[in-house]
Amino acid sequence: MSEPPLLEVRDLRKSYRVGGREIEVLRGIDLALARGEMAALLGASGAGKSTLLHCLGLLDVPSAGSVRLRGVDASSLSFAQRARTRNREIGFVFQFYHLIPELDALENTLLPRWIGPGAGPRRSSWEERDRAGALLGRLGLGDRLLHRPAQLSGGERQRVAIARALFAEPEIVLCDEPTGNLDSRTGSEIVDLLLALNRESGKTFVIATHNPELARRCPRRVRIEDGKILDGARVGGDPGPGHAG
Amino acid sequence: MYAAALARRYLFARWIHLVGILGIAVGVLALVVVLSVMNGFIQETRRMARGSLADIIVTPRPREGERIGPYADYEKVLRSTPGVAGCAPRFLHVALISVGRSTNFMRTSAALGARNAAQLIGLDPEAEAGVTNLAVALSNPPLDRTQGDSRVADPAHPFAPPLDVLSPEDREAPPRAVVVGEQLYRNLRLHRGQTIDLATATWTASGNRVRPINRHFAVAGTFRTGEYEYDLSTILLPREVLAREFLEGEEDFSEIVVRLEDPSRGAEVVREIERRLAAAELPGTFVEDGLGGRSEFLYVETWEERKRILLGAIDNEKRIMAVILFFIVIVAAFLLFALLSTTVKEKTRDIGILMALGAARGGILGVFLALGLTITLLGEALGLAGGLAVALNLPAIEQWLKHHLGLEIFRADIYIFDRLPCEVDVTGVVLILAFTLTAGFLASLIPAWIASRKHPVVSLRYE
């Protein structure tokens, strides 16, 4: 093992206080992800999948244990540094799309670049707009660029969300139930899309899902139950970036 | 920054933000209009006071047994003082007015609010020219034409007998003429050529008794300065007539009005006049301490000092109105605070999304601060435009309300002017805008800060 894994989690614990009672959601997770991997995060509702994704995405701070991105411990970063890291390195896709309703598809896609340092809506160059347009076009939304989320179907919205997650070219894309709110046919299309993107871009995907099709087609499956990993952790093992078709 | 772009989208996404804009606009509008009116009052008072009083008033105060005069001695000193452009003598006295054969004028005077008492001002029309605005007051068109044009026939000779309106027998030996303030003229229902009696009192020759004197005069016409009180209480007559008829020629003036070359140097010239008059040892100019300090016997003051109570009262009123009206802005700021708080609540999930995409706390703060400032600035622009439109057309609006709705907003007998003055004060407007912007900024800062402190994950889960 010459270089550290892209994302590595050791003895991750996370608990919340609800009504004076301590609820432990994650109870010691160990996980390592290599560049280009595509992992499905499986488990029942409430097993801690979303919490793990939030910790992996530096959105939430663990109660104990460490999250290391390229060997850097996230707990050593300030809020602003974590925000910058999210902006550059991590893309999110949510179950309920989470697009900004006041922005059209193109603007939602450009949003990570707007937020990024030294950029803004005025300074988003034509080149960037072209690039965002092309990305949306590749996701089948070429004629929907100026539509607002309310004018788009669920599948279309999720594709805009995927475009947004990919646009800043992050190393890691974290998806929380990306097909959970879609009918099975649209869900299938999204699964195809995610697999194809992983293959083409070589980016690391972590997908929390209940969708059996998605789980079956992912090269790696990590099962989580009761805040612990049941199988598929492969800590410190050989990353093996191969995929099944 | 994306903050401004997102703020713009949010502004139009919730129509309720319009309420915030209107709230701020109402506050700014009220402030601009009311402070313009108050400023108009102050400016108008200054103009009129300066017009009828000139820049400096010299009032010698004789000691017991001393008599002031002759005027020529004082004039020589004043004209040689640097900075003095001109001066004119005046004689002030008080009289009761009796019109017709009514014998109960003393009684009615109380019932009518002492309108049968008048301030007599004896002056020289030629000397007044270039010192006060007497000529303007004499030729100002009458405000109310119901009694016809009551102006004097020739403003250059206001005290010429009004031969055109006198009865044939009076034309043979015309009585001495006086010029009456327009409001007094209307109040007593006078007409040109009418004879009025002026009654007053003076010392007996021996100087230890008060003796009544009573003379009759013909009304030659009216003057109007626009200062309601002044026009309601003043009768002008030739100085030598007042001195001779009422005061038996013992003194020939009681005060001197002085016009300066540079009105802003008033205080400086006042001191120089005091020094020179005291040095000339003229009656009534005795300087008590002999060390150049101000004497209690000699009164040299600028018109602003003479009118300081009135000017101070209006200025004080202006401040009070400003404070009261700024509360409207403060209430509007609270409204903005409430609006932004609900917007932040409604946009909680957006805040989570922005944070997930890498927005720092400063960025989130910026979005809602920009939203609050946009609302404030739009409200200010709207309020300023409306306020200026009202302030600049106030006389027309006031007339319209009076004629169409019977609303009399401005009453000349309550205020000192015969029409509503209004003057936009640029400094004041800038202050209003700056204050409103500060209030809007502070009102936006708290919700924006709350937004920026939200937890990304909790925000994302917000339904």
| B121/B42 same-domain check | no
Smallest CA–CA separation between B446 and chain A, in Å?
A: 20
Number of domains chain B contains:
2
Cβ-defined contact of B358 to A100 (cutoff 8 Å) = no
User: Does residue B219 form part of some domain?
Assistant: yes
Cβ-defined contact of A98 to B356 (cutoff 8 Å) = yes
Q: Which residues of chain A have pLDDT under 50?
A: 1, 236-245
| B95/B236 same-domain check | yes
Cβ-defined contact of B2 to A114 (cutoff 8 Å) = yes
- Chain A residues in contact with B364 (beta carbon < 8 A): none
User: Does residue B364 form part of some domain?
Assistant: yes
The answer to whether A146 faces chain B, any CB pair under 8 Å, is: no
- Chain A residues in contact with B5 (beta carbon < 8 A): 114, 120-122
| B115/B242 same-domain check | yes
The answer to whether B280 faces chain A, any CB pair under 8 Å, is: no
Band (pLDDT 50/70/90 cuts) for residue B207 is: low
- Chain A residues in contact with B457 (beta carbon < 8 A): 54, 59-60
- In chain B, the percentage of residues whose pLDDT exceeds 90 is 35
Average pLDDT over residues B104-126: 68
What domain range is B212 assigned to? 84-260
Average pLDDT over residues B89-114: 67
Q: For chain A, list the domains and their CATH numbers.
A: 7-231 (3.40.50.300)
Q: Residue A238: its pLDDT value, please?
A: 44
User: Does residue B429 form part of some domain?
Assistant: yes
The answer to whether A103 faces chain B, any CB pair under 8 Å, is: yes
DSSP assignment of A157-200, as one string?
Answer: HHHHHHHHHHHT--SEEEEESTTTTS-HHHHHHHHHHHHHHHHH
| B347/B450 same-domain check | yes
Is pLDDT of B388 > 60? Answer: yes
Q: Residue A119: its pLDDT value, please?
A: 56
- Chain B residues in contact with A87 (beta carbon < 8 A): 357-359
Each residue's pLDDT tens digit, B129-146? 888 888 888 888 877 666
| B17/B116 same-domain check | no
Q: Residue B90: its pLDDT value, please?
A: 93
| B100/B34 same-domain check | no
Smallest CA–CA separation between B439 and chain A, in Å?
A: 28
Q: Which of B441, B446, B439 is nearest to B370 (CA)?
A: B441
Least confident of B191-205, B259-273, B296-310: B296-310
DSSP character at residue A37 = -
Each residue's pLDDT tens digit, B161-186? 888 888 787 778 888 899 999 888 88
**Out of B2, B350, B358, whose CB is closest to A86?**
B358
**CA B177/CA A103 separation, integer angstroms:** 83
Each residue's pLDDT tens digit, B10-37? 998 888 999 999 999 999 999 999 999 8
Q: How many residues does chain A have?
A: 245
User: Does residue B302 form part of some domain?
Assistant: no
**Out of B10, B354, B457, whose CB is closest to A115?**
B354
The answer to whether A17 faces chain B, any CB pair under 8 Å, is: no
| B332/B248 same-domain check | no
The answer to whether A126 faces chain B, any CB pair under 8 Å, is: no
Smallest CA–CA separation between B356 and chain A, in Å?
A: 6
The answer to whether A84 faces chain B, any CB pair under 8 Å, is: yes
Q: Residue B284: its pLDDT value, please?
A: 76
Domain end position, chosen among B260, B280, B301: B260
The answer to whether A120 faces chain B, any CB pair under 8 Å, is: yes
Q: Residue B130: its pLDDT value, please?
A: 83
**Out of A88, A100, A116, whose CB is closest to B353?**
A100
Total CB pairs under 8 A between chain A and B: 74
ipTM: 0.91
| B168/B88 same-domain check | yes
| B88/B42 same-domain check | no
| B227/B95 same-domain check | yes
| B106/B233 same-domain check | yes
| B173/B321 same-domain check | no
Please give the mean pLDDT across all residues of chain B: 85
The answer to whether B463 faces chain A, any CB pair under 8 Å, is: no
Is pLDDT of B106 > 60? Answer: no
Q: Which amino acid is at B311?
A: L
SS3 A8: strand
User: Does residue B254 form part of some domain?
Assistant: yes
Longest CA–CA separation in chain B, Å: 106
User: Does residue B451 form part of some domain?
Assistant: yes
- Residues in B 10-39 with any Cβ partner in A closer than 8 A: 10, 13
